[in-house]
Structure 1
Amino acid sequence: MIQNIEFDSYGVTNNISQLRNLLGRSDHGIYQRVHRLRQVGKLPQAQRVSGPEDEVKKWVDYHKKLMKVV
């Protein structure tokens, strides 16, 4: 798992769906494992509590689009 994990610039896990398919676990199981690995120091701590950068950008763009309509 450690070899296949990808992070964005803030240390947030970028590829949960890829890990889910690769390992055959649920999203919750992946999040738990990443959390445990961070606690023992095998993975770097995330610098923010949020989704990956590409997902946050999608949410922001969608919000901006909604605000233009209203």
Structure 2
Amino acid sequence: MKAITAWGNQAPQDLDRLRTPTLIVNGDNDIMVPSENSLALANRVPSAQLVIYEDAGHGGIFQNYADFVAKALAFLDA
């Protein structure tokens, strides 16, 4: 409960030093992790790539598995 009630009440962590390529994937209708959070995270990780699936919820990678697998493989090959 402490984590839930404290969410959004603290300063974001400094992620500028992260250099590992990061793939961030979300659905635009995710009620557990709002897309705005994914966008904010992608903007704070220097080497992040963001994929937002339209008309997808928290299981967006499963709803769009063929596209996700292709994007994930391309990301890992880069």
Which TM bucket (shorter chain)?
under 0.3
More helix by share: 1
Structure number with greater Rg is 1
Query: What is the TM-score of this pair, normalised by structure 1?
Result: 0.28
